Structure 1
Amino acid sequence: MGDTSPDQLIEGLARVCARAGLSPPSNLTRLTGGATMESWRFEAGEDAFVLRRAPSLEFMKDRPFGHDVEAAVIRAAYAGGVTAPEVVAELEPEDGIGSGFVMRALPGTPNPKLILEMDDSGALLKQAARDLARIHAVPRDAVPEAVPAMDYRAAIAELRAQFEEAGGDRPIIALGLKWMEDNCPPQAPEPVLNHGDYRMGNLLAEAGKLTGVLDWELAHFGDRHEDLAFGCMAVWRFHRYDRPALGLGSLEDYFAVYEAEAGVRVDRERFRYWLIHRTVWWALGCLRMAKFWREGQDRMLERVVISRRTSENELDLLMLLEEEAPEAERSRTVAVPEAPPQVGEATDGELAIAIYEWLGTVKDRFSGHDKFQYAVARNALGMISRYNAAAIPAFENAPLARRIMAGEATLQDEGLLAELREAILATIMQDVPKYPALAVARKKWTGEN
């Protein structure tokens, strides 16, 4: 299925359109982005639609439900007044183009950079809060029974298993997992439908107005604070680190609109728990991308690059958890590691820089999804060019991670916070030196102006 050609997609879509009473498809175009699923835009008559499908059947194997259930959830949200797309048809085996469904295209852009620069971000934040409250109001009997309910303790155990499978050698992730085990809240008395991925990148907007909520594959029933917190993670605020609610505004404004629409009070402690939980979750999700690539489930270049962005989440996680350390440890400054000067023949990093610079001269030759992949390729070369193993003194440290998980090492220990700060600074400066939270951390931890 991952090797389906555009011509085969058009043939299969023709069968889908005929079944849905639509005109034959035309002008099929692959959309950019999508960490797991493919999206293709096409026209049928005078209307535009989007096909959402898995890049391979392997991608659907371990998922809690299939595209038929996802489509049903979107239909229920749409009926509940959520700014969700209208699903017009699900793919059938006889269509020959795999697993997925077709939605009516919505106006607007999902590009966080463009959305976060729109006028009146406060109005957009209010619309997002309103829509999230409406998602949480969708009743249990409005969606298929296959939509799971989260068991918080089981979810932590699964994340711990993923951590061990990935090597169990990242002390900051270990710190987060141990904190979650020690601070897991009781199950929500009234679980609500969670979107599961409510954040910039999955929201459409146009001229400061919310026009769509996309990507419902992680829907489940659980704590409303999980959805509230996920979009407020630093990694999903992109270049607007200074606006903690979705990159659009303040938490106070976000909570106020949500509380008014939902008729419930936001519990700040539960919100903080889920902010940490989902940061650990996405850190491990990034790590798993390399596993998917190695096993051949999806050989897209984006997978291996995302795996190296684990350090973004680890930086954010340490900044959240350092509140648990004594003041004396929090006030201790650390030095920023520096790479040694290069002499002699060109290093591997310098070869990568040369290719990176050459690619910059041929940018105009790429378009559509190839242009997106071009940008990912340049990011990968940038990571290679900055690699310096000697600058990561304690980052991949399985013995320390095991001691943290066993409760034998904590942020109360003298010097541990400083050690972790130095390690993550060295790593993220190689992986993603332009990550907005890095500038904040450097100023806070090193005393730089």
Structure 2
Amino acid sequence: MGISADELSAGLARVCARAGLGALSSEPQRLTGGAVMESWLFRTSPPPTPSSEEEGAFVLRRAPSLAFMEGRAYGHATEAALIEAARAKGVTAPEVVAVLAEADGLGSGFVMRALPGTADPKVILACDDPDGLLTQAARDLARIHRLRPADVPEGVPVMDYRAAIADLKEQFMEAGGDRPIIALGLKWLEDNCPPEVEPVLNHGDYRMGNLLVEGSRLTGVLDWEIAHFGDRHEDLAFGCMAVWRFARYDRPALGLGSIEDYLTAYEAEAGVTVDPARFRFWTIYRTVWWALGCLKMAAQWRSGADRMLERVVISRRTSEQELDLLLLLEEDAPEMEKRRLVPDFSMADEVWGEANWGEIATAVSEWLATLKDRMEGHDRFQLAVARNALGIIAREERSIRTLAFQEAMAAEILSGQTTLKGKEVLATLRAYALVMIEADSPKYPSLTDAQARWPRNPPIEE
């Protein structure tokens, strides 16, 4: 549900009174980031137990609408109880002080005590001791994995691997079933699904962006909304995906260091040995998972469940995951196919006459840049998102995006009729991946790696 500033403040005042947090003393400030849930920072006066700068500071975590919570495995009350269970086991998680009630008028969510530090990957990845921070992250993940069903509230699901793959496939077909690289990933998952092991609690979203850090010290593990019981390798692999390294593509473990160091620190804390084959399976699974997660953001925007600008822009990040997925899967192709030149689907930049829609988008983006210094907080973040969206429009003017073969090729891949062993299949998929991401996300770090690996034929002449 949409909510006004007055409604938000009034609702928080009711929560604070009910939970004994003091009187609301500041207007709630929308925090940046958060692709799914909203986060609002607010303060109370007098603080309940003033002992540090963070006392009296709280964060409201809420869904953008009640409709947004439909179909989820559990609600915010269970998530809040899960966080408290993790804290009891020594996990560096925030303290939940109140769960929203219907009478609060704020929808679905809960309030946490604010912790010191930042979740901004750019700041964190520039810390003085990335190796030490990586060890701390491995430690906390091992502690999370010690939790068993008896330790957490009812309603936290246990993952059925085959059912999870089938669900991804259903999501893919509902989204049009016309992305060949995602189809390739789904078929690989079906063909390579490992046997199930004793489930442990998975955080489900353990990666840079959901870790709160002060200096080089881990101060909080955030965003527990998709926690579930499953294979520990899923959590380990997810944080090592290329997308969560941000600008540090060269440091594959959370953008902080090597996978070897991360797994060694984890094994020392958890007392287990990591299986490389399972690690690869879950890396590919989660890359498909996040590709579809990005893809369905547009459907959520269209439905009206969340009309946030960022939603539609994130949907265009699907191409990032397609690129990463192909980089993961292409090792299974024959050497001769790996050596083929990639056809260039891009078009010439020559333009004439009246401005095209790409140039208009560029002009609007340049004007929006002049407003940057007049904005702050979430509005400034949304301005950056808007300029990113306009950049996609401008770049798409110069690419052949809709390729006629997509739906047919995806169907052939899912059926097993087309594989990476086929002549020019890999080269065609590489070309598709490049033309998509060069329009959607030309600064994505994996792109530089792919361009170096995949030499191209001369571009198509108009």
Within 5 A, what are the aligned runs for 1:48-197? 48-188=57-197, 190-197=198-205
Correspondence 1:319 to 2:327: yes
1:146-170 Cα distance to aligned partner (Å, 9 max, x none)? 0000101000111100000000000
Change (3 A) 1:107 1:176: same
Give the CA deviation at 1:333.
2.6
Instruction: Answer yes or no: is the 8 Å Cα contact 1:395–1:424 preserved in 2.
Output: no
**Per the alignment, do residues 389 and 152 of structure 1 end up closer, same or farther by CA in structure 2, a change over 3 Å counting?**
farther
Q: Deviations over 1:184-214 (max 9, x none)?
A: 11111x1000000001111111111111110
2:363 matches 1:385: no
Partner in structure 2 of residue 17 of structure 1: 16
Contact 1:170 1:396 in 2 (8 A): no
Count of aligned residue pairs for this structure pair: 446
Whole-angstrom distance in 2 between the partners of 1:385 and 1:144: 49
- Mapped pair 1:353 → 2:357: no
Q: What does residue 264 of structure 1 align with?
A: 272
Q: 1:251 to 1:447 in 2, by over 3 A?
A: farther
Which position in structure 1 is the counterpart of 2:384?
375
Deviation at 1:392, TM superposition (A): 3.5
Q: Does 1:220 align with 2:220?
A: no
Which residue of 291, 297, 311 maps to 1:289? 297
SS at match of 1:391: coil
TM-score by length of 1: 0.97
- Cα separation, 1, equivalents of 2:456 and 2:3: 53
- Compare 42-51 and 337-346 and name the one that shifted more: 337-346
Distance across 2 between alignment mates of 1:255 and 1:78: 23
Q: Which moved more, 1:324-333 or 1:287-296?
A: 324-333
Q: Which residue of 2 aligns with 1:332?
A: 340
1:29 and 2:29 matched: yes
Identity of aligned residues (%): 65
SS of 1:146 mapped into structure 2: coil
Q: Report the residue type matching 1:136 in the other structure.
A: H
Q: CA deviation at 1:372?
A: 0.7
Distance 2:345 2:424 in 1: 17
Any idea what the Cα deviations from partners look like across 1:82-111, whole Å, max 9, x if unmatched? 110001111111111111111000111111
Q: Does 1:41 align with 2:41?
A: yes
**Who is 2:4 aligned against?**
5
| Residue pairs, 1:270-281, within 5 angstroms | 270-281=278-289
Q: CA RMSD of the aligned region, Å? A: 1.4
Distance in 2 (CA, whole Å) between partners of 1:164 and 1:242 is 34
Aligned with residue 445 of structure 1, among 454, 457, 460? 454
Summarize the Cα distance change of 1:200–1:179 in structure 2 as closer, same or farther, 3 Å threshold. same
- CA shift, 1:359, in A, is 1.0
In the alignment, the residues of structure 2 paired with residue 441 and residue 390 of structure 1 have an alpha-carbon distance, to the nearest angstrom, of: 18
Q: Secondary structure of the equivalent of 2:128?
A: coil
Q: State how far apart, in whole Å, the 1-side matches of 2:164 and 2:331 are.
A: 24
2:308 is aligned to: 300
Contact 1:236 1:247 in 2 (8 A): yes
Contact 2:344/2:456 (<8 A) preserved: no
Does the CA-based 8 Å contact 2:343-2:428 persist in structure 1?
Answer: no
For the structure 1 residues 38 and 395, does the alpha-carbon distance in structure 2 shift closer, same or farther, using more than 3 Å as the test?
farther
Q: Which amino acid aligns with 2:430?
A: R
What is the DSSP-based 3-state SS (H/G/I as helix, E as strand, rest coil) of the residue aligned with 1:123?
A: helix
1:239 corresponds to: 247
Structure 1 residues 296 and 210: CA distance shift in structure 2, 3 A: same
In the aligned structure 2, how far is the partner of 1:243 from the partner of 1:390? 31
Secondary structure of 1:110's match? coil
The AA in structure 2 aligned to 1:108 is: G
TM-score by length of 2: 0.94
Q: How far apart are the structure 2 equivalents of 1:62 and 1:221?
A: 18
Q: Pick which of 256-265 and 336-345 moved more.
A: 336-345
Q: Comparing 18-27 with 437-446, which one deviates more in the overlay?
A: 18-27
Secondary structure in 2 matching 1:252:
helix
Q: Does the CA-based 8 Å contact 2:345-2:399 persist in structure 1?
A: no
Q: Shift of residue 140 of structure 1? A: 1.5
Q: What CA distance in whole angstroms lies between the structure 1 residues aligned with 2:137 and 2:166?
A: 31
Structure 2 residue identity aligned to 1:101:
F
Rounded Cα–Cα distance in structure 2 between residues aligned with 1:247 and 1:208: 13
Q: Which runs of 4+ in 1 moved over 3 A?
A: 335-338, 392-396
Any conservation in 1 of the 2:346–2:398 contact (CA below 8 Å)? no
8 Å contact kept, 1:395–1:423: no
Q: Which 5+ residue runs of structure 1 have no aligned equivalent? A: none
Q: Quote how far apart the aligned CAs of 1:357 are.
A: 0.9
Shift of 1:248: 0.6
Residues 349-384 of structure 1: CA distance to partner in whole angstroms, max 9, x if unpaired?
000001111111111111111111100000000000
Secondary structure of the corresponding residue to residue 49 of structure 1:
strand
Letter of the 1:15 partner, please give it.
R
Residue 427 of structure 1 is matched in structure 2 by 436
Which amino acid is 1:271 matched to? F
Range with bigger deviation, 336-345 or 154-163: 336-345
Relative to structure 1, the CA distance from residue 242 to residue 444 in structure 2 (aligned partners, 3 Å threshold; closer, same or farther) is: same
For residue 139 of structure 1, report the CA deviation from its aligned partner: 2.5
